[in-house]
């Protein structure tokens, strides 16, 4: 133990040294190494030069007296424990010094080795714990977290600076107040488990501010116990988590909403649905789920651009929202698909009412880029509690019903019905099979001859596609063409048809048959393909088929519905030198006057008006059409001719060409070739 002894009286100093030695020998202190000086000035010089564990100072020295003595030593070595020595009559002053920071005092003449040893040891220890306390107090004060200390009854005892910064409360305002309370009573609004004896708690709480508002905090509370394990205090530290909460909320919003429209997304929809369904189960009422698909969205997106498409979706979302109650959910599922969940319905009809409203508002024009754009909607509805009791089922069924609404002309709504399910299952398998059919070369063409009723033999053939399905056999086009069109597969398949037919026509010529006109059917989707004329030109060049031998058949409805586009596309096709035929004429709302607008070469009278030519009225119509075609310099073909009577009638009316089972069914190319020779006799 290194001791600085400041004592001007040599006798007193000697006595202390002896007592120290004695204390050491009795094992009360470690070996004393004493530096003795006789004044404060000398003491300070020593302190500067060396480290000491403790200072023993006499209070009356030649260069200082009393409190001043202590203070000067203390300033020289603030971390050094100090024990003062004083005479009998100075005891009051010694106590003063202890209050000012000295660790202990001794009264001269009353000191023995035991008392001295104990005083030194305690002084050192006391200084150490004082240091620690000072450190803790500083940490408490500078902490960024708000900290409060309460007594065992959770009444506030003290707070730190951060507490004041965060809450606006000063210590005087909160001292004695409860830490917790309902509403405004306490600082924190949260019932805490300490009441049931817990020693530690952490979690979110609401903290009240002096101005009256409140904010969320993360609160950490620890009980402080005394030696016998009784809680004497609680220390609560908290940090402001307002920003964190805001971010959290934002993230939650993003995860649950569609960014474009701000509507709930599929995830939130499923949540809401679960909720609505649970309620329906309890109250025994219905929930309707609607799937809504915009009918012409893709067209708008493609022609006006994505920005306009986005705007349209936002407007559509807004209109949808306007069709339902506050409590109902409107969600965007992606693309142009929306879903609506209607809760606590009394009947199906309630859902139908909303569906009608939706069709109505969606049918109104949308103002986009100074244009009025029209898109309609197709709506599928499934009722929970009626159609299904499983959530995933309801969604799927609404989807199926929506698909049927689309298939049956769009701009309408359909309730789910069980037979739809079967149909859509079939469709799904069919679609998968169809996608593979082209590469697996499962499509085949059959050819049906068209003959001159006047005896001129075969003029041409029509190529008709079939699907040689591994299980179902030869599938007729009506069963898969619509699906090819829906999926867009009709484009590559249609091209395959044209190429194969052209090749066949050339092959027959090479075999020595007369040049035959090859008629090929084209779907609406193909006509919309920008590069159709180029593709056709390519096929002609590639196969070597003379353009005037290729006749492209388009139905009346295709041409009429897309009048402007059709005129342009047909013009470009005509420029290649190919022929254009109007198929199935007489089935739709045929406008004869309108025909003049289209660059067509051939009119194909639909089987419907041929079948009954034996009846006077239909005969008159068919006759008139043939005459008109002749006047317009169009060639005429009668389709679906099955009887000799029909044939005779058509010959009398001078129809240019006849096609039908009476002459021949559509046949495979080999079979057809064999037929060629004999036909001349049969017809002639």
Judged by the rule CB under 6 A, the positions of this chain that interact with ligand C2E are 448, 464-465, 476-478, 481, 494, 497, 521-523, 553, 583-584, 607, 639-642, 659-661, 666
- Shortest CB 471 distance to Mg ion, Å: 27
* Burial degree of 302 (CB within 10 A; 0-12, 13-18, 19+): exposed
State which residue, 158 or 557, has the beta carbon closest to ligand C2E: 557
State the binding partner of 594 from ligand C2E, Mg ion, none, CB within 5 to 8 A by kind: none
d(CA 394, CA 99): 82
State the binding partner of 465 from ligand C2E, Mg ion, none, CB within 5 to 8 A by kind: ligand C2E
d(CA 393, CA 289): 11
DSSP letter, residue 340? E
**Residue numbers of the site for Mg ion (CB under 5 A)?**
521, 553, 583-584, 639
d(CA 107, CA 409): 113
DSSP element (H, E) containing 632: none
State how far Cα 643 lies from the chain centre.
63
State which residue, 639 or 656, has the beta carbon closest to ligand C2E: 639
State which residue, 586 or 640, has the beta carbon closest to ligand C2E: 640
Contact call for residues 431 and 487 (beta carbons, < 8 A): yes
State which residue, 69 or 448, has the beta carbon closest to Mg ion: 448
State the binding partner of 69 from ligand C2E, Mg ion, none, CB within 5 to 8 A by kind: none
- Shortest CB 467 distance to Mg ion, Å: 17
State the binding partner of 664 from Mg ion, ligand C2E, none, CB within 5 to 8 A by kind: none
- Shortest CB 396 distance to ligand C2E, Å: 31
DSSP element (H, E) containing 168: none
State which residue, 366 or 467, has the beta carbon closest to Mg ion: 467
- What is the full DSSP assignment across 386-444? TTBSSHHHHHHHHHHHHHHHHHTTSSSEEE--HHHHHHHHHHHHHHHHHHHHTTTT-EE
State the binding partner of 460 from ligand C2E, Mg ion, none, CB within 5 to 8 A by kind: none
DSSP letter, residue 462? E
- Shortest CB 460 distance to ligand C2E, Å: 13
State the binding partner of 610 from Mg ion, ligand C2E, none, CB within 5 to 8 A by kind: none
d(CA 282, CA 101): 75
Contact call for residues 382 and 421 (beta carbons, < 8 A): no
State which residue, 40 or 549, has the beta carbon closest to ligand C2E: 549
Q: How many helices (H) and strands (E) does the chain have?
A: 24, 29
- Shortest CB 639 distance to ligand C2E, Å: 6
- What is the full DSSP assignment across 342-393? EEEESSHHHHHHHHHHHHHHHHS-EEETTEEE---EEEEEEEETTTBSSHHH
Q: Which two tokens stand for residue 522?
A: 């084209």
State which residue, 143 or 524, has the beta carbon closest to ligand C2E: 524
- Shortest CB 481 distance to ligand C2E, Å: 5
State the binding partner of 495 from ligand C2E, Mg ion, none, CB within 5 to 8 A by kind: none
In three-state secondary structure terms, 446 is: strand
State how far Cα 146 lies from the chain centre.
38
State the binding partner of 477 from ligand C2E, Mg ion, none, CB within 5 to 8 A by kind: ligand C2E
Measured over the CA atoms of residue 534, residue 539, residue 545 and residue 551, the dihedral's sign is negative
d(CA 157, CA 148): 7
What contacts 568, CB < 8 A, 6 or more positions away?
none
- Shortest CB 530 distance to ligand C2E, Å: 18
- Shortest CB 604 distance to Mg ion, Å: 5
Half-sphere exposure of 512 (CA within 13 A, CB side): 3
State which residue, 53 or 553, has the beta carbon closest to Mg ion: 553
State which residue, 26 or 668, has the beta carbon closest to ligand C2E: 668
- What is the full DSSP assignment across 570-617? HHHHHHTT-EEEEEEETSS---TGGGGGS---EEEE-HHHHHTTTSHH
DSSP letter, residue 562? T
Could you give the dihedral angle defined by the CA atoms of residues 437, 439, 440 and 442, in that order, rounded to the nearest 10 degrees? 50
- List the beta bridge partners of residue 551: 519, 579
d(CA 170, CA 213): 16
Strands 104-107 and 146-151: unpaired
- Shortest CB 533 distance to Mg ion, Å: 20
- Shortest CB 601 distance to ligand C2E, Å: 16
State which residue, 222 or 643, has the beta carbon closest to Mg ion: 643
Nearest CA among 185, 180, 188 for reference residue 214 = 188
State the binding partner of 660 from Mg ion, ligand C2E, none, CB within 5 to 8 A by kind: ligand C2E
State the binding partner of 53 from Mg ion, ligand C2E, none, CB within 5 to 8 A by kind: none
State how far Cα 240 lies from the chain centre.
30
State which residue, 319 or 579, has the beta carbon closest to ligand C2E: 579
State which residue, 234 or 480, has the beta carbon closest to ligand C2E: 480
State the binding partner of 448 from ligand C2E, Mg ion, none, CB within 5 to 8 A by kind: ligand C2E
State the binding partner of 301 from Mg ion, ligand C2E, none, CB within 5 to 8 A by kind: none
Could you give the dihedral angle defined by the CA atoms of residues 497, 503, 508 and 511, in that order, rounded to the nearest 10 degrees? -150
- Shortest CB 443 distance to ligand C2E, Å: 9
State which residue, 193 or 668, has the beta carbon closest to ligand C2E: 668
- Shortest CB 615 distance to ligand C2E, Å: 17
- Shortest CB 610 distance to ligand C2E, Å: 8
State the binding partner of 481 from ligand C2E, Mg ion, none, CB within 5 to 8 A by kind: ligand C2E
State the binding partner of 642 from ligand C2E, Mg ion, none, CB within 5 to 8 A by kind: ligand C2E
- Shortest CB 654 distance to ligand C2E, Å: 20
DSSP element (H, E) containing 630: helix 616-631
CA angle 605, 610, 614 (to 5 degrees): 150
Contact call for residues 56 and 5 (beta carbons, < 8 A): yes
State in Å, rounded, how far the first CA of the chain is from the last one.
140
State the binding partner of 494 from ligand C2E, Mg ion, none, CB within 5 to 8 A by kind: ligand C2E
State which residue, 44 or 498, has the beta carbon closest to ligand C2E: 498
- Shortest CB 672 distance to ligand C2E, Å: 13
State which residue, 168 or 588, has the beta carbon closest to ligand C2E: 588
């Amino acid at each position: 133990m290194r001791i600085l002894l400041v004592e001007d009286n040599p006798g007193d100093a000697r006595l202390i040294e002896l007592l120290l030695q004695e204390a050491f020998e009795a094992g009360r202190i470690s070996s004393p190494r004493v530096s003795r000086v006789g004044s404060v000035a000398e003491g300070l010089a020593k302190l500067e030069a060396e480290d000491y564990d403790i200072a023993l100072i006499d209070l009356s020295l030649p260069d200082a007296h009393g409190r001043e003595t202590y203070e000067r030593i203390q300033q020289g070595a603030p971390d050094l424990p100090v024990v003062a020595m004083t005479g009998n009559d100075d005891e009051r002053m010694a106590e003063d010094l202890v209050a000012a920071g000295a660790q202990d005092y001794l009264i001269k003449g009353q000191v023995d080795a035991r008392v001295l040893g104990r005083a030194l040891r305690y002084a050192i220890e006391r200084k150490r714990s004082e240091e620690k306390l000072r450190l803790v107090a500083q940490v408490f004060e500078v902490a960024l977290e708000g900290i409060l200390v309460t007594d065992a009854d959770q009444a506030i005892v003290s707070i730190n600076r951060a507490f004041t910064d965060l809450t606006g409360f000063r210590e005087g305002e909160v001292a004695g107040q409860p830490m917790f309370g309902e509403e405004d009573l306490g600082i924190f609004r949260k019932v805490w488990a300490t009441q049931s004896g817990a020693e530690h708690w952490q979690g979110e709480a609401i903290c009240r501010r002096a101005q009256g508002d409140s904010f969320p905090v993360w609160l950490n509370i620890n009980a402080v116990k005394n030696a016998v394990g009784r809680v004497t205090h609680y220390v609560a530290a908290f940090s402001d988590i307002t920003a964190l909460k805001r971010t959290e909320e934002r993230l939650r919003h993003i995860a649950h909403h569609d960014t474009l429209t701000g509507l709930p997304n599929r995830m939130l929809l499923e949540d809401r649905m679960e909720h609505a369904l649970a309620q329906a189960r309890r109250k025994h009422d219905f929930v309707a789920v609607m799937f809504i698909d915009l009918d012409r969205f893709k067209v708008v997106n493609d022609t006006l651009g994505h920005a306009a498409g986005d705007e349209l979706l936002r407007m559509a979302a807004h209109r949808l929202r306007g069709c339902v109650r506050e409590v109902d959910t409107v969600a965007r599922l992606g693309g142009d698909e929306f879903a609506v969940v209607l809760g606590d319905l009394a009947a199906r009809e309630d859902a139908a009412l909303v569906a009608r409203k939706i069709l109505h508002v969606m049918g109104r024009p949308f103002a986009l880029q100074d244009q009025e754009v029209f898109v309609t909607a197709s709506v599928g509805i499934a009722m929970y509690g009626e159609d299904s009791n499983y959530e995933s089922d309801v969604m799927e069924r609404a989807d199926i019903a929506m698909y049927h609404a689309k298939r049956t002309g769009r701009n309408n709504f359909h309730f789910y019905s069980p037979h739809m399910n079967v149909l859509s299952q079939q469709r799904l398998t069919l679609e998968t099979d169809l996608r593979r059919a082209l590469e697996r070369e499962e499509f085949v063409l059959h050819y049906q001859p068209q003959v001159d009723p006047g005896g001129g033999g075969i003029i041409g053939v029509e190529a008709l596609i079939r699907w040689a399905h591994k299980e179902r056999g030869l599938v007729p086009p009506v069963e898969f063409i619509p699906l090819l069109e829906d999926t867009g597969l009709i484009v590559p398949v249609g091209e395959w048809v044209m190429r194969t037919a052209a090749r066949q026509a050339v092959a027959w010529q090479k075999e020595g048959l007369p040049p035959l006109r090859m008629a090929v059917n084209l779907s609406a989707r193909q006509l919309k393909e920008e590069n159709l004329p180029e593709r056709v030109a390519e096929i002609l060049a590639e196969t070597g088929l003379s353009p005037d031998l290729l006749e492209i058949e388009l139905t009346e409805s295709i041409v009429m519905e897309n009048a402007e586009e059709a005129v342009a596309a047909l013009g470009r096709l005509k420029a290649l030198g190919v022929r254009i035929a109007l198929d199935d004429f007489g089935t739709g709302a045929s406008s004869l006057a309108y025909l003049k607008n289209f660059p067509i070469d051939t009119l194909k009278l639909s089987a419907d008006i041929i079948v009954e030519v034996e009846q006077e009225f239909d005969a008159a119509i068919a006759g008139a059409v043939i005459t008109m075609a002749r006047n317009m310099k169009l060639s005429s073909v009668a389709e679906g001719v099955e009887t000799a009577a029909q044939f005779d009638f058509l010959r009398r009316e001078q129809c240019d060409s006849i096609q039908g089972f009476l002459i021949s069914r559509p046949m495979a190319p080999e079979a057809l070739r064999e037929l060629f020779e004999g036909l001349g006799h049969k017809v002639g």
